[in-house]
Structure 1
Amino acid sequence: MSMRSPYPDVEIPDVSLTEFLFADGFGDRADAPALLDGGSGTSISYAELAGMIEKIAAGLAERGIGTGDVVALFGPNSPQWAALFHGILRANAIVTSANSMYTGGELAHQLEDSGAKMVITVSPFLDRALDGAKQAGIDAAQVLTIDATDGHESLADLLATSAQPPALTTTSTDTAVLPYSSGTTGLAKGVILTHRNLVANLLQIEVMGDVNSQTKIMAFLPFFHIYGMTVMMNQGLHARATVVTMAKFDLAEFLRITVQYQVDRLYIAPPVAVALAKHPSIDDVDLSCVKTIFSGAAPLDGELGRAVAKRLDCTVLQGYGMTELSPVSHCMPDDRGDLDLNSSGFALPNIECKLVDPESGQEVPVGERGELWVKGPNVMVGYLNNSDATDATKDADGYLHTGDIAVVDDEGVYSIVDRVKELIKYKGYQVPPAELEALLLTHDEIADAAVIGVKDADGEEIPKAYVVRQAAGADLTEDDVMTFVAEKVAPHKKVRVVEFIDQIPKSAAGKILRKDLRARETA
């Protein structure tokens, strides 16, 4: 039996994200900081942001970017990243947000698959951006930078236009963003999220938390990831709050910024919770400004969460989601700090869930384990140019099969207890085993390989490779394998443990039997 959220449905207007966030003006928040760079202290007010968005849209239109065109954003968090994101949407175009840690080759895959016509980056990333653009067939002239860079147009050039922006013709059903996700398995795929998907999720989230115009949100988790994009950047703008950005996480800088700007709401992933619970430098600063910490991107251990809450004397909450859900489907509301921190809270408004036995396909009753299926207005349209993957993930009734095993209690509180899917979550980042396996097989001395997630000494999931040498007695070492992979992938995808074995266990159809490999870990 399907279960609806215990919260009443919210009405979702038939508008674009641009209209939803900016059409009604800003009232007494016009001159208030919308986005503040925690490193430099510079800020952009709501009125200034609106003006920048219009200029960026006009400048992009002058350079041939229009309805349905895809522009890639490849850079760290900054107020300018947010302005460009919304400027691209205002130009009736589509954003594909690229992982800041991508190599040129990884970026090229996303650029080519998404059909991107332009890349906007920062000067420290320019070499990788140009490499990726070249491989994807994008002219170097279409690679712009946020900061001033010799030989390339920059954000300043877009803002210098005297042209008017194009008419806003985007509708709620048009594609807004193409973030890339591995879904339940396989290589990274473009997730088609419409303006309606993003608007819906903002309204669903709004019911669950007390985020308002006086809130200061810390945004060090990347905007290129849907968690940062929706929950930090766009939720903050929707509430007319102040979003304080960090280009990358550094504990000392994080603490300084939190105290200096009296940030009261932190969005984190579990590795940061470890620092907040255990690092001695936490005792040297006054974090009494922090009222709420919300953890996402990977499961938070309840005991760890309680340790953070006690040390900082604040409320710690957890939620669940995935890129394909825009991203939030479940969370603990601000007023339910009493919930078990090992849980993910309630389904958001407008959401309907099923728990289904992955073997039999039958729904399971309350209290029993089953794969979580989610239906709602925040569910993606599908995967770009990949109908097979879409059909395997989203059924004819509109339910997204998450690949995660959950239980639900009589109150409607969900807990994620296991994973069906192959995807590895390293510090909240997706690591698709199939991508690493394909890379390993390009090594001349590797005959076969399989990758699974295992727990390290701190309980963090890390990628482990099982490798079959090409020749018995070959001198290929564990370090050789790890170095080979590290040179070709973003840091979060590195293989961190290697074990040599004689044969990779496979089914009669040739599919890797990961459950057999996982069994080796517990034997």
Structure 2
Amino acid sequence: MFHSAYDDVPPVELPVHDAVLGGAAAFGERPALIDGTDGTTLTYEQLDRFHRRLAAAFAEAGVCKGDVLALHSPNTLAFPLAFYAATRAGATVTTAHPLATPEEFARQLEDSGARWIVTVSLLLPAARRAAELAGGIREIIVCDSAPGHRSLVDMLASDGPEPEIALDPAEDVAVLPYSSGTTGVPKGVMLTHRQIVTNLAQLEPAVRSEPGDRILAVLPLFHIYGLTALMNAPLRQGATVVVLPRFELDTFLAAIETHRITGLYVAPPIVLALAKHPSVERYDLSSLKYVISAAAPLDASLAAACAERLGLPPLGQAYGMTELSPGTHVVPLDLLREAPPGTAGRLIAGTEMRIVSLDDPGKDLGTGEAGEILIRGPQVMKGYLNRPDATAETIDRDGWLHTGDVGQVDADGWLFVVDRVKELIKYKGFQVAPAELEALLLTHPAIADAAVVGALNDEGNEIPHAFVVRRPTAPELGENEVMSYVAERVAPYKRVRRVTFTDSVPRAASGKILRRELRERA
């Protein structure tokens, strides 16, 4: 068993809005949030006051403790306001991908039991259709403005009493993101207030921000990585968060230059752009002090090329998963120059890890031996919503969460993630469940069988690669037709990017697809 070198962190018994914004009064007129495109700024005093007014308005509208509110929005200044207002009103927030199809969004709404949607006018058609398909939605509220819908701006005028909700941080669910876990279709991950907030406290000794630091929020806040590293953590510590709605390279680089960004939390595709793209030379990025990459493995040579080009210390990495609130490992900011290339980091405070044999899961392995990574700590999720069997498959009776990832630890406690037991594909940091794409491919009348695995493209990113068996009656079925069929029915990040036609899909006697065999052919 491996233990953190940091002192244990006691569980933080606070709701997330109080844990993050409890120091807002002390930070006062310091900028909390800045729109990276137009410069609109909210101070800490405004963030605190506005989210409390919105909480009152939500309560007036009928939001009650235990309700689920779906936050369906790209990164905007309104996203944190809506999030903290909803939790202060007693709701659980389920964060939804803004590019999800109406059908995908409807499945999340129905599964989570959502009664409220907060979205933006641009996404209203998808939100309305999803609400119609799912049923049970009481109201769709917009962040900006749209005819026939209340807006958050209007709701700021509420003079109702601020709700005083008795929350149990250990039991009440603050956030319900959706994750495919180690296998299968997306499931609601129940993260309590205590789990989310304690994970922030666990991370602080290793990656601390301070007033005056400026963090660029370009990764999506609906993703647990963005929610923690780009919103909750810096706002808890008095830093300034500069918000961008999406990653566009020149806008991203201009925001670093204009707003003098000091810290970047990114995913490997952004590291690739920083290391290779000629546009980088046109901007002054000298304010940057560090870059941390997570959400997917980062190639060590690419990390080194990025650091050298930007004149920075070696890039750090972090490791975790939605089911872990999400962090378990990070390269501490004060050890960036000491960490070995390619490491995912060291255990954060209050976290235990085991590496167990793939052939004999009851056998613990030592340093230098590769096996499945198991994690135990206060950040382990409460469970999957309404899926006790899936929860029991992931968290054992002793509280160990089985990550499905294969890793090994060196003598100094640095973790290296070397493979994945699980079948999930990580396309640019987003989870893609092969089973979901396979089920969709089988609805095509010309497809007899299909399997999907992860494969690397020319840029070193993992992509969904479909192996397709044509029906005898459809010998002309082509790659473009297959990719278009999927693209019309899923969010952009789930699209099949490569197709191989095959005579059969290899399967075990049990019927399970032999993905390892397919990956060797991909």
- TM-score, normalized by length of structure 1? 0.97
Matched with 1:59 is 57
Describe the superposition over 1:44-99 as per-residue Cα deviations: whole angstroms up to 9, x where unpaired. Answer: 11111111111111111111111010000001111111110000000011100001
Deviation at 1:356, TM superposition (A): 0.8
Q: Counterparts of 2:395 and 2:155 in 1: how far apart (Å)? A: 39
Matched with 1:488 is 489
Q: Counterparts of 2:442 and 2:514 in 1: how far apart (Å)? A: 17
Deviation at 1:271, TM superposition (A): 0.4
Q: Counterparts of 1:157 and 1:332 in 2: how far apart (Å)? A: 43
Task: Answer yes or no: is the 8 Å Cα contact 1:302–1:340 preserved in 2.
Answer: no
Q: Establish whether residue 232 from structure 1 lines up as the match of residue 230 from structure 2.
A: yes
Secondary structure at the residue paired with 1:263?
coil
Q: Counterparts of 1:473 and 1:188 in 2: how far apart (Å)? A: 32
Matched with 1:167 is 164
- Structure 2 stretches lacking a partner, 5+ long: none
Matched with 2:194 is 196
Deviation at 1:286, TM superposition (A): 1.3
Q: Counterparts of 1:473 and 1:487 in 2: how far apart (Å)? A: 20
Query: Identity, % of aligned pairs?
Result: 46
Task: Answer yes or no: is the 8 Å Cα contact 1:26–1:240 preserved in 2.
Answer: no
Q: Counterparts of 1:11 and 1:384 in 2: how far apart (Å)? A: 26
Describe the superposition over 1:395-445 as per-residue Cα deviations: whole angstroms up to 9, x where unpaired. Answer: 111111111100001111100000100000011111100000011111111
Moved more, 12-21 or 118-127: 12-21
Q: Counterparts of 1:65 and 1:6 in 2: how far apart (Å)? A: 43
> How many aligned residue pairs are there?
518
Q: Counterparts of 2:23 and 2:470 in 1: how far apart (Å)? A: 63
RMSD: 1.1
Q: Aligned in 2, Cα 1:156/1:133: closer, same or farther, shift over 3 Å?
A: same
Q: Counterparts of 2:21 and 2:268 in 1: how far apart (Å)? A: 33
Task: Answer yes or no: is the 8 Å Cα contact 1:26–1:46 preserved in 2.
Answer: yes
Matched with 2:9 is 10
Which amino acid in the other structure matches residue 47 of structure 1? E
Q: Aligned in 2, Cα 1:307/1:168: closer, same or farther, shift over 3 Å?
A: same
Q: Counterparts of 1:201 and 1:125 in 2: how far apart (Å)? A: 32
Which amino acid in the other structure matches residue 232 of structure 1? L
Q: Counterparts of 1:323 and 1:93 in 2: how far apart (Å)? A: 20
Describe the superposition over 1:79-137 as per-residue Cα deviations: whole angstroms up to 9, x where unpaired. Answer: 11111000000001110000111010110011000000011100111111111111110
Q: Counterparts of 2:334 and 2:13 in 1: how far apart (Å)? A: 30
Q: Counterparts of 2:133 and 2:306 in 1: how far apart (Å)? A: 45
Matched with 2:105 is 107
Matched with 2:393 is 392
Matched with 2:281 is 283
Which residue among 211, 218, 221 is the counterpart of 1:220? Answer: 218
Secondary structure at the residue paired with 1:368?
coil
Q: Counterparts of 1:293 and 1:25 in 2: how far apart (Å)? A: 26
Task: Answer yes or no: is the 8 Å Cα contact 1:69–1:93 preserved in 2.
Answer: yes
Q: Establish whether residue 350 from structure 1 lines up as the match of residue 350 from structure 2.
A: yes
Deviation at 1:483, TM superposition (A): 0.3
Q: Counterparts of 1:279 and 1:156 in 2: how far apart (Å)? A: 39
Task: Answer yes or no: is the 8 Å Cα contact 1:318–1:341 preserved in 2.
Answer: no
- TM-score, normalized by length of structure 2? 0.98
Which amino acid in the other structure matches residue 491 of structure 1? P
Matched with 2:254 is 256
Q: Aligned in 2, Cα 1:200/1:154: closer, same or farther, shift over 3 Å?
A: same
- Aligned ranges for residues 147-158 of structure 1 at < 5 Å? 147-158=144-155
- Structure 1 stretches lacking a partner, 5+ long: none
Task: Answer yes or no: is the 8 Å Cα contact 2:371–2:407 preserved in 1.
Answer: yes
Q: Counterparts of 1:210 and 1:399 in 2: how far apart (Å)? A: 27
Q: Establish whether residue 33 from structure 1 lines up as the match of residue 34 from structure 2.
A: no
Task: Answer yes or no: is the 8 Å Cα contact 1:79–1:245 preserved in 2.
Answer: yes
Deviation at 1:358, TM superposition (A): 2.2
Deviation at 1:472, TM superposition (A): 5.4
Q: Counterparts of 1:171 and 1:213 in 2: how far apart (Å)? A: 30
Q: Counterparts of 1:72 and 1:10 in 2: how far apart (Å)? A: 31
Which amino acid in the other structure matches residue 318 of structure 2? G
Task: Answer yes or no: is the 8 Å Cα contact 2:65–2:165 preserved in 1.
Answer: no
Matched with 2:466 is 465
Q: Establish whether residue 80 from structure 1 lines up as the match of residue 81 from structure 2.
A: no
